[in-house]
Amino acid sequence: MDSAYTLCEADLHCHTTASDGLLTPTELVFLAAELGLKGIGITDHDTIQGWQEAEEAGKKYQIQILRGIEISTEWQGKEVHILGYEVNGSSDHFNERLRDLRRAREQRMLKILARLEAQGIHICVAEVQRFAQGESIGRPHVAHALMERGIVSSIEEGFEYYIGKGASAYVPRYQLTPEEGIELVRAACGVAVLAHPGVRHLEAGIPAWVKAGLQGIEVVHSDHKPEDEKLFRAIAQEYHLLTTGGSDFHGEVRKPGVKLGRWGVSLDVIQQILNLAQHN
Ligand code: AMP
Ligand code: MN
Ligand code: MN
Ligand code: MN
């Protein structure tokens, strides 16, 4: 049994099999209900494929679903992730841009496999695809294939030795700037929130991103230390931004120790986001 932990009402940062999570949207919502959560945010990388199934399961298990997405951008050599909540999923422009981002992911995958091949590790696309059930492929799927082969003993090790930044088969990916990411979300009437800013110490970028339309900061996150939470809560207050939070749940094997609902916010934050989205 897992040791007991205090549960939040709403975990606003969760991945499903639509991108690099291990649980299907239905399984994720079911787990949330089993744990006693009231709401979750579905924030897959570069895809909204998980929304519909999550909403159907949400009705069945009485879990409020916040529609979201996580978009990777780059600033000064650092990864900056932008969460977009309640974006208009019917926007043609938005969907076209997401398709471009997913295509870039596929192209990068081929390059990563070529680099592994050059090191004598033969993994074909189909083998990676076995671990990618959704439309957004990513490095965790390659890491999983490496683990299944026994080449590494964990996803983490796959990143450390092969596909993480600076490792032997690392390939950078086409990334937007944070401003472009924020504009993409805002153009689709969504609420743009800066994800886990404590991980790469992004405080210096925030004033410019607020000018570009940033409306919230993810203050509570599984990778944040207490001092990160304190710093970014103060910054959010200074700039009158929403404070959000979530675990970044991917499933136990993909992100060991990151438990659903252990990091999050009260349910009223979902309502705050919905209110803001209505005026966007
Ligand atoms: P990608 O989106 O393809 O660039 O892959 C990045 C994803 O890999 C992140 O969203 C995390 O889920 C995961 N990830 C990044 N770094 C690590 C790491 N060091 N160990 C395990 N998973 C990681
Ligand atoms: Mn991920
Ligand atoms: Mn992220
Ligand atoms: Mn995430």
Predicted local confidence at residue 173, as pLDDT: 85
- Region 255-261 average pLDDT: 96
Q: What are the pLDDT digits (tens) for 11-46? A: 999 999 999 999 999 999 999 999 999 999 999 999
Look at residue 111 in the predicted model and tell me its pLDDT: 98
Instruction: Answer whether 197's CB lies under 8 Å from 232's CB.
Output: yes
Question: Which ligand 1 atom minimizes the distance to the CA of 156?
Answer: 20
What residue's CA is closest to ligand 1, atom 6? 139
Q: Which residue has the tokens 């800013």?
A: 197
Q: Is 21 in the pocket of ligand 1 (CB under 6 A)?
A: no
Rounded average pLDDT over 130-139: 96
The domain made up of 10-98+174-278 has a fold known as TIM Barrel (3.20.20)
Dihedral-angle region of residue 273 (phi above 0 means left; psi in -120 to 50 means alpha; beta otherwise): alpha
Shortest-distance atom of ligand 1 to CA 81: 10
- pLDDT higher than 80, residue 4: no
d(CA 62, CA 68): 18
Q: Which residues are close to ligand 3, an ion, with C-beta < 5 A?
A: 81, 195
For the chain, the structural domain boundaries read: 10-98+174-278, 99-163
Answer yes or no: is the C-beta of 94 below 6 A from any ligand 1 atom: no
Q: What is the pTM of this model?
A: 0.97
For ligand 1, atom 21, name the residue with the nearest CA.
156
**Ligand 1 and 102: CB distance under 6 A:** no
Q: Per-residue pLDDT for 3 more than 60?
A: no
For residue 2, pLDDT beyond 60: no
CATH of domain 99-163: 1.10.150
User: What would the pLDDT profile of 155-190 be if each residue is shown by its tens digit?
Assistant: 999 999 999 999 999 999 888 999 999 999 999 999
Average pLDDT over residues 2-7: 70
Q: Identify the nearest ligand to the CA of 139 by its number.
A: 1
Nearest ligand to the CA of 68 is: 4
User: How does DSSP assign 203-268, residue by residue?
Assistant: GGGHHHHHHHT--EEEEEETT--HHHHHHHHHHHHHTT-EEEEE--B--TTTSTT--TTSS-B-TH
pLDDT > 70? residue 240:
yes
pLDDT in tens, 67-122: 999 999 999 999 999 999 999 999 999 999 999 999 999 999 999 999 999 999 99
Q: What pLDDT, on the 0 to 100 scale, is given for residue 1? A: 44
Fold identical between 10-98+174-278 and 99-163? no
pLDDT at residue 249 above 90? yes
Ligand 1 pocket member 45 (CB < 6 A): yes
Which helix H or strand E contains 271, and what residues bound it? helix 268-279
Distance CA 109, CA 147 (A): 17
Token reading at 9: 């009402």
Q: Which residue, by CA, sits nearest to atom 18 of ligand 1?
A: 156
